[in-house]
Amino acid sequence: MTKNQISRPAPQRRSPAPAAPASIPGDQRSHSVALSRQLHSVARALHDIRAGRSGTAVLETVPPLLRPGVQALLFQVLRTLGRAEALRRQLAPRTPPPAVDALLCVALALLCGDADDLPYEPFTLVNQAVEAAKTDSATRAQAAFLNACLRRFLRERDALLQATQQDPQAQWNHPRWWVERLRKDHPTQWQQILRANNAQAPMVLRINQQKTTLDQYQSALEAINIEANPVGAVGLVLQRAVPVQQLPGFAEGWVSVQDAAAQMAAPLLLSGLDLAQPLRVLDACAAPGGKTAHLLEYAGPAAALQVTALDIDPARCERIHETLQRLGLRAQVLAADAGRPQDWWQQDCGGQLFDAILLDAPCTASGIVRRHPDVRWLRRESDIAQLAHIQARLLETLWPLLQPGGRLLYCTCSVFRAEGDGQVQAFLAHHSNARLLPSPGHLLPGMGDKGSPVPDNLHGEHDGFFYALLQKAPA
C-alpha cells in the first residue's frame, strides 16, 4: 500500500507535504511578487483541492519564487474555509462558477479573521483580489461581481459574521460530518480536537543518538539562536520553524524532522526485545522512511537488526533510500504491495517469518490536519469505511508473517475510532492467538494524554495518532 496521498476518489496513505511556515514569509509582504499574482495562485490551488488533488501535489506545481508565500496563504485559507464558504452563501446564494468561487472564498477567508491577524490591509486585499480576477479569462467577466461581494463584506462585516455563527462548518472550519464524527468518537474532547486542528503545528526534530545527544544538539541550536524544548525521549520542538538547511548537521544525519507522536513507533515496537540477537523486522507502508530510520537508530549499530521496508511506489522507495543514505543507515527496501506477500515474501525475504512488524496503515490522516489543512476538505465520510476495510485486510494478511511470540505494532495517524480502537477490537475478537500489550491507544492532536499506559513527556505536543501493540501467542 502507498502512504497517505490525500486525494479522491481512492483514499491512500499521505504524501508528506512541506511544513507550514511559522508565519507569512517576509518576502511575501514585499513588492517582489505582486499580491494579485499570489492570490491567483492560491485560488487556483483551492480550485484544484476542491477537485480532489492533494495540497502537496498542488503546491509542487507553483513556481519556486511564489511557493513560500502561496503556501502560507493557502494554509491560512484552508484553516478558515468553512467560515468563508458560509459567508459566500450569504453574499451570493447562487454558487458562482468554480474559478470565481475559489477566488471569492480565498479573499473572504483572508478577510474574516481577527483584525490583528489579517495578513494584509482589507482594502488592499480586496483591490488585489479584483486585479487577480482580471488576469484570468475564467474570472475576468466576474471581476465586478467579485468586487461588489467583497466591498459589501467590508461594509456589513459584523452582521454577516454573526449570521454564520450557528453554522457548525463555519464555527469549526471542518465539514459537518467530520464535526459529528468527532462528537461521537470523543464526546468530551471533540471541541479540543477541532481547536487543535485549526492551529499551526510546530516543527519537531528527532535526534539521531548514533551521532549526537539531545543536550548537545539543543546547545548547537542555541548557539545559532534557535530555541527548542525537549519533547519525548529524543525530540526537540522548535519555537519557530526554519528551513532544514539551517539545522546543524542535517546533511550529515544528526537530526530528522518527525512529529513527536510518530517518534513513539520505534521504541514501542522494539522496547524489551533482545536487540543483541538477530531480529527480522518488517516496516510495511514505509515511505518516506522516517520510522524505518528510527528503528535502526533506536536499535543502535551493535544490534543485529535486519529491517525490510516496503512501499508500493518505486518513486517513494527512492525517498526511503535517500533518508537512509543521509543518516548512514542500511535496510532492505522493496517496491512491493504489503497486501500481496505472495509477490515478495518468498522471493525477497526467503519465506522467513518476522520477529516484529510495523504496520503504519493507510488512513484518513485525520490526526495530522494541523500540518495538512487540506485533508479535512478532501476527505469524504465514506472514505473511513473504505480505509477501514484496507486496514483490516492488511492486518489479516501480515499477521501470518509474524513469528509466534512476535509483535505487530498497528498505527494510523487518525483520530477516528473506526481506524483505531474499533479496528483493533475487531481483530482481537477474531484472533485468539493475539493479545494487546500496553499501548497509547488514541493520541489526540496538540494535547497531553495523561493516564496513557506508556509514559512519555510529550507535554501535549504531538499530532493525532493511534497505537496498538499486538503480540502473537508462542507456538
Q: Which residues belong to the active site?
A: 413
Surface-to-core class of residue 393, CB atoms within 10 Å of its CB (0-12 exposed, 13-18 middle, 19+ buried): middle
Q: Which helix (H) or strand (E) holds 77?
A: helix 67-79
With CA atoms as reference, report the closest residue to 221 among 207, 211, 201. 207
With CA atoms as reference, report the closest residue to 331 among 359, 294, 277. 294
CA distance 178 to 199: 17
15 φ, ψ (degrees, to nearest 5): -95, 125
Q: Is 360 helix (H, G, I), strand (E, B) or coil?
A: strand
Long-range pairs of 238-246 with CB within 8 A, sequence gap ≥ 24? 238/202, 238/203, 238/204, 238/205, 239/202, 240/22, 240/23, 240/203, 241/19, 241/20, 241/21, 241/22, 241/202, 241/203, 242/203
Cell of 59: 503546491
Q: From the DSSP assignment, how many helices (H) and strands (E) are in the chain?
A: 20, 11
Cell of 20: 507550514
CA distance 312 to 316: 8
